[in-house]
């Protein structure tokens, strides 16, 4: 009834959405700039993480800049309670990476967790919604294998060194034996310095016997 009276509109252009779409029309979804990093093992994200943690492969799917539509969508999914945005962008990402063969060999998706206070305030963890969307688009299972034992301080106005200090030791593993020997794809919304991803990967590598790690972020700066 509500949908009949107020058909859902595309968040970017305002046009009415076809069935099965929650947030973006096909045109706007297709128009968002992809990085193409999954085709380049030595991409900017992989280079940013190289030497800091051992990992199999890394990609960030959409190109992030303050003016990019993906920046507005990430803002909506973080601060306006729009978990559907995260889910839909995740599904798109999962479908495209699965079609490109980039997910072959991955066993499980693990979202970077939020501290429970933040989780409670926000109502959901955007990385977890992303992971669920990616799972829907790719058929891979999601495992909440990490928890945050304290909040990350706001990371926007601190130096790279300070960020690394802020996130050191903030994660703990959950049921690490369940993931033994698996190839884990660590999921987060956006990568800037990579400090949070490095801390999360370090925790998994130390706790999970025989784990292999790859990394996927929804968006990435150049």
Q: CA angle 33-28-20, nearest 5°?
A: 125
Task: Check binding of 25 to Zn ion (CB under 5 A).
Answer: yes
- Closer by beta carbon to Zn ion, 30 or else 180: 30
Task: Check binding of 12 to Zn ion (CB under 5 A).
Answer: yes
Determine contact, residues 149/116, Cβ cutoff 8 Å.
no
Q: Is the dihedral of CA 106, 136, 23, 197 positive or negative?
A: negative
Task: Check binding of 17 to Zn ion (CB under 5 A).
Answer: no
List binders of Zn ion among 170-189 (CB under 5 A): none
Burial of 106 (0-12, 13-18, 19+ CB in 10 A): buried
- Per CB under 5 A, the segment of 28-36, 76-84, 117-125, 191-199 that binds Zn ion is 28-36
Which H or E run contains 164? helix 160-167
The single residue among 28, 74, 199, 208 that binds Zn ion, judged by CB under 5 A, is 28
Query: Nearest 10 degrees: CA dihedral of 197, 110, 135, 78?
Result: -50
- Per CB under 5 A, the segment of 20-28, 62-70, 100-108, 194-202 that binds Zn ion is 20-28
Task: Check binding of 13 to Zn ion (CB under 5 A).
Answer: yes
Least gap, CB of 9 to Zn ion (angstroms): 8
- Closer by beta carbon to Zn ion, 12 or else 131: 12
| Residue 172 β-bridge partners | 147
Helix 126-138 to helix 69-79 angle, to the nearest 10 degrees? 120
- Closer by beta carbon to Zn ion, 14 or else 51: 14
- Closer by beta carbon to Zn ion, 25 or else 106: 25
Least gap, CB of 24 to Zn ion (angstroms): 6
- Per CB under 5 A, the segment of 4-12, 36-44, 110-118, 142-150 that binds Zn ion is 4-12
Task: Check binding of 73 to Zn ion (CB under 5 A).
Answer: no
Burial of 60 (0-12, 13-18, 19+ CB in 10 A): buried
Binding site for Zn ion (CB under 5 A): 10, 12-13, 25, 28
């Amino acid at each position: 009834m509500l949908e009949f009276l107020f058909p859902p509109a595309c968040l970017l252009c305002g046009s009415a959405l076809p069935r099965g779409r929650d947030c973006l029309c096909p045109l706007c979804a297709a128009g968002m700039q992809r990085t193409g990093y999954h085709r380049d093992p030595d991409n900017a994200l992989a280079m940013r993480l190289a030497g800091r943690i051992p990992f199999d492969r890394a990609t960030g799917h959409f190109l992030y800049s303050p003016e990019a539509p993906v920046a507005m969508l990430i803002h909506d999914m973080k601060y306006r309670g729009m978990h559907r945005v995260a889910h839909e962008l995740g599904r798109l990402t999962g479908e495209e990476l699965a079609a490109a063969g980039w997910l072959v060999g991955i066993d499980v998706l693990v979202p970077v967790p939020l501290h429970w206070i933040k989780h409670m305030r926000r109502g959901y963890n955007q990385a977890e919604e992303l992971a669920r969307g990616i799972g829907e688009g790719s058929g891979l299972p999601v495992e909440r294998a990490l928890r945050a034992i304290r909040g990350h301080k706001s990371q926007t106005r601190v130096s790279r060194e300070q960020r690394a200090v802020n996130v050191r030791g903030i994660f703990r593993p959950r049921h690490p034996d369940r993931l033994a020997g698996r190839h884990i794809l660590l999921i987060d919304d956006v990568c800037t310095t990579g400090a949070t991803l490095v801390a999360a990967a370090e925790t998994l590598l130390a706790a999970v016997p025989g784990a292999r790690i790859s990394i996927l972020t929804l968006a990435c700066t150049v």
